[in-house]
C-alpha cells in the first residue's frame, strides 16, 4: 500500500467512533476477550515460577504435573480468547470500513460537477480505496495490537516489580539501550519501504498509461523508447528494493544481537542472585518472561505509532470529503414540478462563470425561451457557451445571476432530481459503462422491460450491430465501451435516451460520430423521437439542423441571432460564414440547392 501523509492529531481517529457505535455488542465481546487473554498471558510467568520452584527444584512429580496442567489450561484460555478477539476486531474493521466507503461514495454522488473541476478524480478514488484500506488495517489490526501491548506493558512492569524490584531497576537501564537503536534503524527501513512503494507506483503508472494508449504507442513506433523508460523505472525500483532488503536484514541482525544480549545480561545478573540465594530459579524464569514481554510490547507500540499517524491522516481526508458541501442541493421545501411534463425552457438574463474559470464568463446575460415541442438548434464556435446551456438546464451548476426555468419552475426552487427526470441527454462523448448492452441501454430507465429495451435499440438503429455481438444484448461492452466503435457507442447512448422518453431532449452533437448511412438511420429515429417533445440540439454541422424550427447563434456567451436557416443566412454574418464553409459559397444546404 502506498505510504500516506501522516497526522499527529489523533483526535481525527475519534471521528470513526460514530461508525463503530452501531456495533457496541461486538466491541464488548472484543474487550472481554482482550482482557481475558491479557490476564492469562500475564499469569504464564506465575505458572512458570510454580513449575520450576514447586516441581523441578523441589523434585515433586505431583507438583510438576499440576504446574503442567495449569500451563496447558492457561494456553487454552489464551487460544480461545485470541480467536474471539481477532475475529471480532477484524469483523468491526471490515464492517466499519464498508460503512465508511458507502457513506463516502454516497456523498460523492451528491457533489456537483463543479467539485470535480477543481479536484482530481484520482485523489477522490485514492481516498475511497487506499485511505479506507489503511483505516481498515488500523481498526482491524493495529488498534488491537496497540491496546493489547498497552495492557501487556502495564501488567508486565507491575509483575516485574512484584517479582524482583532490584532486577527491575537493571531492566530499566537495559531496555532503552535496546529500544533506541531499534527505533532509529526501524525508521530508516520504513523510509526505504516508502521509497520502494513510490518506485513501484511509478512502474505501474507508466505501464498503465502506455497500455491504455497502446494504439498510439504502436502508431508512432514508440515501443523502443517506452521499453527504455520502463526498464529504467524497473531498475530504479530494484535498486531501492535491494537497499531496503539490506537495511531490513541489518535490522534483524541488530535486533537479535541487542535483545539476546540484554536477555543474557539479565540472566547473568539473575543467575548471580540465584547462586547467592537471593532469587529462586522460578522467580528468575518468571522475571525473564516478563522482561521479554515488556520489551516486545514497547517495540510493537513503536511500530503501531506510525500506523496510527497514517490512519489519523487518512481519517482527516475522509472526514474532509464527507463534510464537503455540495454546491447544488435541494431547497429545504422543494416545490413540486408541474404534471404532466411539457418541456418548456426559459433562460432569463443568465450570466455564469465556471468554478475553475471565475474570471471568464461562459454565458453573459443570456435570455432564451423554448416552447413545448419546439425543435431548437444551438450553433456557434467552440467555447461559445452552447454546452454550458445544457449544463445549467441539468442544474449541474447555478448561474451567478439570472434564472433558469423548466416548465415555469425556477430550478433553484425544485429538487434537482425531479427536474433531471424530465430530461434525456445524448452527449458528444457518449458514456458506456462496463456492463452488457442491455444494462447500458436500460440505464436510461432502470424499470424498463426487456421488450422496451429492444424497441429503443431498434429505434436507434443499434440492433444492427448488437445482433452481431457474440452474445447479442448480453454481450459485455468492455471498459468505457472499448469493444465498440465511436458510432456504435453513440447509438447505444441514443437508445438510452429513447428509452427514457423525456419531455426535454438534449442532443450534444448526437450524430457526430456516425458515418453517412448510420447518420441517416439515426436522424430518422431522432426525428420520430422529437415529435411531441422539446428538443435542443447542439450542432457544428449545420446540415443536421437546417430544418430546425429555430436556430440560435451563440458567440462568446452572448445570444447574437435567432431565426430559421434561410433568415440567418441573410441577417447574421457569423452563421453565413459557417454555412459558406460547409455548404459552399451561397451557404445553401445540399437539399436546398437541388
Strands 401-406 and 409-410: antiparallel
Handedness of CA 208, 214, 218, 219 (dihedral sign): negative
The model's pLDDT over 252-283, given as tens digits with 9 standing for 90+, comes to: 677 777 777 777 777 787 777 777 777 777 77
Reported as a pLDDT band with limits 50, 70 and 90, residue 14 is: low
Nearest CA among 317, 403, 301 for reference residue 133: 317
Question: Phi/psi at 100 (nearest 5 deg)?
Answer: -65, -45
The predicted structure's pLDDT at residue 93: 82
- Containing 367, the helix (H) or strand (E) segment is strand 361-370
Query: Coil, strand, or helix at residue 574?
Result: helix
- For residue 167, is pLDDT > 80? no
User: Which residues have a Cβ under 8 Å from the Cβ of 199 and sit 6 or more positions away?
Assistant: 233, 236, 237, 240, 241
Query: Coil, strand, or helix at residue 195?
Result: helix
Nearest CA among 321, 390, 373, 397 for reference residue 114: 397
The model's pLDDT over 231-244, given as tens digits with 9 standing for 90+, comes to: 888 888 888 888 87
Nearest CA among 443, 512, 513, 437 for reference residue 478: 437
The mean pLDDT value for 33-53 works out to 77
Domain definitions of the chain by residue range: 10-322
Higher pLDDT pick, 375 / 177? 375
Question: Phi/psi at 432 (nearest 5 deg)?
Answer: -115, 125
DSSP 79: H
The predicted structure's pLDDT at residue 593: 43
The predicted structure's pLDDT at residue 322: 78
Contacts 24+ apart (CB under 8 A), 412-417: 412/331, 413/331, 413/334, 413/335, 414/330, 414/331, 414/334, 414/335, 414/336, 414/337, 415/330, 415/331, 415/334, 416/328, 416/330, 417/330
The predicted structure's pLDDT at residue 7: 45
Phi-psi region of 340 (alpha: psi -120 to 50; beta: other; left: phi over 0): beta
The model's pLDDT over 491-526, given as tens digits with 9 standing for 90+, comes to: 888 888 888 888 898 888 766 656 677 677 767 767
The model's pLDDT over 532-541, given as tens digits with 9 standing for 90+, comes to: 789 998 887 7
Separation of alpha carbons 333 and 327, rounded Å: 17
Percent of the chain with pLDDT over 70: 84
Higher pLDDT pick, 342 / 592? 342
Beta bridge partners of 476: 436
- Containing 316, the helix (H) or strand (E) segment is helix 281-322
The mean pLDDT value for 543-563 works out to 86
Could you give the dihedral angle defined by the CA atoms of residues 466, 467, 471 and 474, in that order, rounded to the nearest 10 degrees?
Answer: 50
- Mean pLDDT check: name the lowest of 267-276, 429-438, 544-553: 267-276
Higher pLDDT pick, 594 / 481? 481
State which of 60-69, 550-559, 566-575 shows the largest mean pLDDT.
Answer: 550-559
Its pTM stands at 0.66
Cell of residue 154, nine digits = 502495564
- Tally of CA atoms within 13 A in the half-sphere of 455 that contains its CB: 10
The predicted structure's pLDDT at residue 121: 67
Q: What is the DSSP string of 202-226?
A: HHHHHHHHHHHTHHHHHHTT-HHHH
Provide the 10 A C-beta neighbour count for residue 534: 26
What Rg value do the Cα atoms of the chain yield, rounded? 36
- Tally of CA atoms within 13 A in the half-sphere of 3 that contains its CB: 16
- For residue 590, is pLDDT > 50? no
Percent of the chain with pLDDT over 90: 7
The model's pLDDT over 107-154, given as tens digits with 9 standing for 90+, comes to: 887 777 777 766 666 667 777 777 777 777 777 777 777 778 888 888
The mean pLDDT value for 200-224 works out to 79
For the chain, what is the total number of helices (H) and then of strands (E)? 21, 10
Question: Phi/psi at 98 (nearest 5 deg)?
Answer: -60, -40
Reported as a pLDDT band with limits 50, 70 and 90, residue 350 is: very high
- For residue 405, is pLDDT > 90? yes
Average pLDDT, the chain: 79
Kindly report the three-state secondary structure assignment for every residue of 85-98: HHHHHHHHHHHHHH
**Domain 10-322 indexed as CATH 3.40.1180.10:** no
Amino acid at each position: 500500500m502506498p505510504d500516506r501523509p501522516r497526522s499527529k492529531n489523533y483526535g481525527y481517529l475519534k471521528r470513526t467512533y460514530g461508525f463503530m457505535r452501531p456495533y457496541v455488542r461486538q466491541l464488548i465481546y472484543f474487550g472481554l476477550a482482550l482482557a481475558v487473554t491479557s490476564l492469562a498471558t500475564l499469569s504464564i510467568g506465575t505458572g512458570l515460577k510454580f513449575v520450576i520452584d514447586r516441581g523441578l527444584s523441589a523434585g515433586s512429580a505431583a507438583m510438576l504435573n499440576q504446574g503442567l496442567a495449569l500451563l496447558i489450561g492457561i494456553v487454552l484460555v489464551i487460544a480461545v480468547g485470541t480467536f474471539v478477539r481477532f475475529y471480532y476486531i477484524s469483523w468491526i474493521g471490515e464492517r466499519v470500513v464498508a460503512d465508511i466507503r458507502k457513506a463516502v461514495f454516497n456523498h460523492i454522488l451528491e457533489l456537483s460537477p463543479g467539485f470535480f473541476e477543481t479536484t482530481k478524480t484520482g485523489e477522490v478514488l485514492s481516498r475511497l480505496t487506499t485511505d479506507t484500506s489503511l483505516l481498515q488495517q488500523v481498526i482491524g489490526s493495529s488498534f488491537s495490537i496497540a491496546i493489547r501491548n498497552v495492557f501487556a506493558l502495564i501488567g508486565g512492569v507491575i509483575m516485574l516489580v512484584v517479582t524482583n524490584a532490584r532486577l527491575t531497576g537493571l531492566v530499566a537501564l537495559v531496555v532503552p539501550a535496546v529500544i533506541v537503536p531499534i527505533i532509529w534503524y526501524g525508521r530508516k527501513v520504513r523510509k526505504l519501504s516508502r521509497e520502494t512503494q513510490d518506485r513501484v507506483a511509478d512502474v505501474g503508472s507508466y505501464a498503465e498509461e502506455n497500455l491504455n494508449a497502446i494504439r498510439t504507442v504502436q502508431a508512432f513506433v514508440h515501443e523502443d523508447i517506452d521499453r527504455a523508460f520502463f526498464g529504467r523505472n524497473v531498475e530504479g525500483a530494484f535498486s531501492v528494493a535491494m537497499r531496503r532488503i539490506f537495511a531490513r536484514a541489518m535490522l534483524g541482525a541488530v535486533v537479535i544481537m541487542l535483545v539476546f544480549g540484554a536477555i543474557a545480561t539479565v540472566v547473568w545478573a539473575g543467575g548471580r542472585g540465584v547462586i547467592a540465594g537471593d532469587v529462586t530459579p522460578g522467580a528468575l524464569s518468571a522475571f525473564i518472561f516478563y522482561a521479554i514481554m515488556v520489551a516486545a510490547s514497547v517495540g510493537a507500540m513503536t511500530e503501531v505509532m506510525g500506523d496510527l499517524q497514517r490512519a489519523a491522516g487518512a481519517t482527516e481526508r475522509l472526514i474532509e470529503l464527507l463534510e464537503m458541501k455540495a454546491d447544488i442541493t435541494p431547497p429545504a421545501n422543494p416545490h413540486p414540478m408541474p404534471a404532466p411534463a411539457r418541456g418548456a425552457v426559459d433562460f432569463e438574463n443568465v450570466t455564469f462563470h465556471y468554478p475553475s474559470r471565475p474570471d471568464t464568463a461562459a454565458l453573459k446575460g443570456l435570455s432564451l425561451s423554448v416552447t413545448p415541442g419546439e425543435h431548437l438548434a444551438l450553433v456557434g464556435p467552440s467555447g461559445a457557451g452552447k454546452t454550458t446551456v445544457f449544463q445549467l438546464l441539468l442544474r449541474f451548476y447555478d448561474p451567478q445571476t439570472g434564472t433558469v426555468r423548466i416548465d415555469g419552475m425556477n430550478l433553484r426552487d425544485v429538487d434537482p432530481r425531479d427536474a433531471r427526470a424530465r430530461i434525456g441527454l445524448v452527449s458528444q462523448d457518449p458514456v458506456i459503462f462496463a456492463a452488457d448492452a442491455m444494462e447500458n441501454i436500460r440505464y436510461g430507465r432502470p424499470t424498463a422491460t426487456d421488450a422496451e429495451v429492444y424497441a429503443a435499440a431498434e429505434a436507434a438503429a443499434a440492433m444492427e450491430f448488437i445482433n452481431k455481438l457474440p452474445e447479442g444484448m448480453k454481450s459485455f461492452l468492455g471498459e468505457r465501451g472499448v469493444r465498440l466503435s465511436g458510432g456504435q457507442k453513440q447509438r447505444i447512448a441514443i437508445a438510452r435516451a429513447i428509452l427514457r422518453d423525456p419531455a426535454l431532449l438534449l442532443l450534444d452533437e448526437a450524430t457526430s460520430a456516425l458515418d453517412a448511412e448510420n447518420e441517416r438511420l439515426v436522424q430518422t429515429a431522432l426525428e420520430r423521437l422529437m415529435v411531441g417533445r422539446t428538443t435542443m440540439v447542439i450542432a457544428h454541422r449545420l446540415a443536421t439542423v437546417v430544418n430546425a424550427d429555430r436556430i440560435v447563434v451563440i458567440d462568446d456567451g452572448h445570444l447574437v441571432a435567432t431565426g430559421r436557416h434561410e433568415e440567418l443566412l441573410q441577417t447574421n454574418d457569423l452563421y453565413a460564414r459557417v454555412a459558406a464553409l460547409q455548404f459552399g459559397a451561397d451557404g445553401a444546404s445540399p437539399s436546398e440547392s437541388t
